[in-house]
Structures are given as C-alpha cells and as structure tokens.
A and B are shown apart, each in its own frame.
Chain A
C-alpha cells in the first residue's frame, strides 16, 4: 500500500505518463540548473567581496548588498521554484497514474516564469530591490510571476484531481502543501508589503511569516516529498508508517509559519513566545520524519549507498534533520547567535545541504525516465555529489563555528567590534573555497543535463551514439 512503485504502475503505463511530462519538466529542470549556476556565480562574488571589499568596488550594480540579494533570489525563484514545479508535475502524474494535464500550458507558464525571474533579478541589480529580506523582487516583477505560477499550478492540480490511483501517498500531500504555500506567501507580501505597505513593524511580522512559510512548508515540504518518494523506492521497501507521515505533514503545515520570529524583536511579546513554542513543537514532526525513514531503511545504507541518487537524497535528509534540529533549539541560544554568521551557516545548510541536494536526487532520478536514456556516464554524477557535499560543508561549517565565536564576542562589550570583524575573515576565506566547489558541481549538473538532451534531441549523432554505448555500460 505504501510503496510508491506499486501505486504508480497500475493505472496507466508509466511510459505514457513520462511522455506527457517530457517537455515542461525537462524545460523546468534545465532552466532551474542554469539559474543555480547564476546563483552560484553571484554567491561566489559576494563571498569574495566579504574578505576583498576592494574587488569591483566602483560598480553600483555589483555592490555587495545587491549581489547577495540577487544570488539568494536566483536560488529561490530561479532554481528552487522550478525544480519544485518540475518534481510536482512529474510526481503528481506518476503517483496519480494519469498523464499530465495540458503540458503545453505548463511549458508556456515555465517560459513566462523565467522571464519574470529575469526581470526581478535585473531589478535588484538595478537598485529596485523591495528591501524585504527574501522577497527582494521589485513589485513590477511579481504579477507575471504569479500568473505564470498559476498556469503551472493549475496543470498540477488538475492532474491531481484527474488521478486514477485513489490511494494517496505522503509525497503528494507535501507537494500540494508546497504548491499552495508559495503563492499564498508571495501574494501576502505583494499586497501588504510591496504595493501598499502596512505600517511599522507589522511589516516585519509579515516578512518573517512569509519567509518561514517558504522555508518550512515550501522548501522543506518539497524536500521531504522527494525524500519520502525516493528512499522507499530505491531501497525497495514499503514506507514504515503512514500515520507518522500524516502527523508530520500536518504539524509542519500548522507550525511552519510561526517559526520565523526572533527573540528581542520589537514585536509584541506574545508573538515571539508563540514562535518559540512553535519552534520547540517542531521536534515532533522532525522526529516523525526521522523515525519513519529510519524504520523504512531498516539498517540499509542510505548515505553510503552505491546508488548516487539515494546518496543525494540521504545527504539531503541528514542536512534537513540537522538544520531543523538547530532551528528548533535556537530559542535557547538565540541571544548569542542572532545577527551572527551562525544563522547564515545554518540557513545555508538548510537551503543548499537539505533542499538543493534533495532536488538533485529528484532531477537525477526523473530526467533519465523522461529522456529515455541514462546519464552519459556515471562519473560526472559522482563528481557532482562530491563537489556539492564539500561545497555545502565548507560554507556552512566555518560560518557556524565562526558565528558561534562572533556571538560570544559580541556579548562582551570590552571586545572591540573591528577586532570581531577581522577575526571573522578567516571563516569567509574558507567559504569562498566552498562556493567555488559548489559552482563547479552546479556546472557539472548543467553539463550532464545538456549532454543528455543533446543526445536525445539530435538523433543519429554518431558520436553521441558511441558515447551512449560507452557510458551506458556503467
């Protein structure tokens, strides 16, 4: 009942479903990968500028603040959103046992989405950033974004409603939750912050709520959807317990939005208190996820698996558990870690270590099914895994440890501020190395995708055929 394979193979032949998804999903994944590279390049420049502030100093467009915002928005709305949408379209079709509804509309939506993201990033670089962290796109980019999203989301939703397989699987719930969470959060931001801002710190409450919903429900939920799909499937084991999965899902949805508040914020105290309680309660869904997957794997290696897709998913899972655990505990030490690199490092672990790695697993799993060919050869995939893991850790760990020290020093007024800044530079030098490795990994992903697509869509390319027979041998 709970093995994704069983549910999906019954109704319609998988091949027919995959064919219906091919165009929009491949387009979404490829453009996601390209935005990932863009985000990595911008992130690398930002990290260099932290310890080399004289680099590119004459340019307004490339000033640190703008580059940083452009990088994180390229990651969120260029890479993450499109990877999630691609996964959603394919998984809802596969798990529902029905072909994708209106693939052309989805494709058109994806094209418009890319244009809107380009306008948004361009706006940030040009100085039109909204000034709300995590939602820096200028208001003029947002309507097109929401329209494009609606088009794709309607295809996903109709596919779900059309499903022939009535038995629901946990990945479907997480994906549907994520499907609603993004437009809800962004519509709230657009109407109450960008177009006609509410007064004073109520803006902050809205900003933090929307960020928390995106982080926990949209990104976290989608990562879990992938992990819950792939781990049982690749281990060929049924999901251990469906009710645990249900409990985890509903608690995440209810609690997620509350977890973004910070101690000492100039907000009514009750809000911050509820936020603290919500953070602690997040232990339950976290535990439900951990236990469920632990029991599903039942001693089989996930992180050390031979299969690279499973390794990506496994690393994503461990990073998710670790980052969420730290977040859950953070009310206890936030006086020290708030405003430090520590939080930046943990956020990096959540976004790049948990979320992106889970999406890589999904992409590497799904794309061969869509294009009907396996990866050109396995070793670039292996290299991507190694580079990505090293890249994530070399950014997250130095920031976490450096930030912890920074936090202790900031609490002690006898330590000069400039001394604290100078000490932090070492951590930032290491992060530059991490960013370079991550960028190299992202380029490999693009290279892998492009090679597969070229081989797929330029038929009778003798060279490619030769490569296929070589690489296909594994």
Chain B
C-alpha cells in the first residue's frame, strides 16, 4: 500500500459502495413514487400541503420540533399507543421537504396528530404554554409565536386572541395574547399531519380510521382505549 494513487482509489471505491446503495439506488427505486388513488374514497394520496400548512412546516423546521417529536409510526407498540392506525411508509412522506422523521421521542409521535387533535385553540394554547394543558409538561413554551397586546378597560377581546381560562386571563392583567401568523401556520401544519389513508402496502386494520380525540380531551398522551 505504498502507492498513493492506489490508496486514494481504494478509499474512493470503499466509500462508494454505501454511497451507491443508499444515495444513488434509492433515487432509482423511490424516485418513481407517485401519488396513488385510494380505492375506498377515490382520493389522491398524498396531496401537497395547502400553502398555510406548508408555511407551518417551515416553522416546525426552524424551531427543530423534531428534536423531541418523531413522525414515524412503527408496527406494533406505536399503534397500540394510539399514534396511528397503521405503520407509516414511503408514500406518506412524498411531498415533505425536509422529511422530519425525528430521532427522539421526548414528546409523542406526531405522524397522526392531525387526526388526533382537531381543535385549533387547543393547539394554540398548548404552544403558548404547554403546562396549561399537561401538568409538568417538559415541552418548552413557544410564547414568541404570540403577541402580547394591551386591552383597553372594558373592551372586548379581539376575536383572534387566545381563549384562555379565567385564571390565566386574570394573570395577564389587562393584556391578551394574539397568535402571530407563524403560530397559525404551525397549527395548520399540525392539523395536516395524518398518515391514515389505507394503502396497498400498509392497509388499515379491520376497523379503519382513527377515532379523533374529543375536543375536550386534554391530550392523547393517555393510553389508547381498545
């Protein structure tokens, strides 16, 4: 191994094996994926996110929510926990860029949060102060996505202000919290997150569809009910 060119060539060849396998070949195998028509509903799946939700994906990326949240349902335990009706497959991520699978579950998986939590106000309050909803939550507050606005004495709160509990409103002492456009976009993104269309490679179990959480339900962190 004293010939430098031979050594370089060897290094190049050795590194390129995994490069071909994991960089080049997936383009050939997965590059041809297209949206498909779902038999039961006739819908095309997946469809590109609407504009607002797409902006929300950027907020999710910028703040690295993926540091604590995965978006990937594995067969078995994840389904039992109520994180999705079926495993997630390549088809589900067709329009994501970046695809934010995440590698840590400090918080719950969010692949199907759009099917689980349907209340925008729940999401907004949760982002504003997670501990208002989940006791001792270790999710950080995203208060910087909200504007604090003075409320004239006796004036009615603005229609888009956060609908907080009476105690919390009192604590704000004549101010109200109004979501910034980023907060609304983020919630639109969360609402768009669902991977529950029945696919050929990942059919739904006998009873299809996730039961959406009731609006008053605090969170789906609680065990899945059978």
Contact = CB atoms under 8 A, between A and B. Distances in A.
Interface stretch (A60-68, A113-121, A289-297): A60-68
Contact of A413 (B18, B29, B81, B136): B81
A276 to B, nearest CB: 13
Contacts of A234: none
Contacts of B103: 133, 262, 339, 343
A307 interface: no
B15 A201 contact: no
Contacts of B31: 198-199, 202
A209 B24 CA distance: 11
Nearest to A198: B27
B72 to A, nearest CB: 6
Interface in B168-220: 219
Contacts of A410: 77, 81, 105
A202 B138 contact: no
Interface in A208-255: 208-209, 212-213, 217, 246, 250, 253-255
B88 A131 contact: no
B47 to A, nearest CB: 14
Contacts of B15: 177, 180-181, 184, 213, 217, 253, 257
Nearest to A210: B23
Contact of A266 (B22, B66, B81, B88): B88
Contacts of A180: 8, 11-12, 15
B67 A335 contact: no
Given A54-B141, A265-B72, A205 B11 contact: no
A430 to B, nearest CB: 15
B147 interface: no
Interface string B103-122: 11111100000000000000
Contact of B138 (A193, A198, A205, A425): A425
B132 interface: no
B153 interface: no
B155 interface: no
Interface stretch (A8-16, A104-112, A414-422): A414-422
A244 to B, nearest CB: 14
Contacts of B68: 64-65
Interface residues of B, number: 77
Band of interface residues on A: 35 or more
A378 interface: no
B18 A257 contact: yes
Nearest to B226: A413
Nearest to B70: A339
Contacts of B222: 416-417
Contact of A422 (B27, B130, B136): B136
A51 interface: yes
Contact of A53 (B19, B102, B140): B140
A244 B8 CA distance: 20
Interface in B1-50: 1-2, 4, 7-8, 10-12, 14-15, 17-19, 21-23, 26-27, 29-31, 33
A414 B22 contact: no
Contacts of B161: none
A28 interface: no
Interface stretch (A159-167, A386-394, A438-446, A450-458): A159-167
B139 A266 contact: no
B94 A411 contact: no
Given A65-B67, A413-B224, 14 more contacts: A51-B138, A53-B137, A57-B143, A63-B144, A173-B7, A184-B15, A200-B33, A205-B30, A213-B18, A256-B18, A257-B17, A261-B22, A266-B93, A266-B101
29 contacts: A64-B68, A64-B140, A129-B64, A131-B61, A167-B2, A173-B11, A176-B7, A180-B11, A193-B98, A197-B98, A198-B27, A199-B31, A206-B23, A212-B18, A254-B17, A255-B18, A263-B74, A267-B90, A268-B29, A410-B81, A411-B76, A415-B223, A417-B81, A417-B108, A417-B221, A418-B137, A418-B219, A421-B106, A422-B138
Interface of A: 49-51, 53-54, 57-60, 63-66, 68-69, 127-133, 136, 160-161, 166-168, 173, 176-177, 180-181, 184, 188, 192-193, 197-206, 208-209, 212-213, 217, 246, 250, 253-258, 261-268, 271, 274, 278, 335, 338-341, 343-344, 410-418, 421-422, 424-425
**When A and B form their complex, which 3 residue pairs have the shortest distance between CB atoms, in order from nearest?**
A65-B64, A257-B18, A264-B74
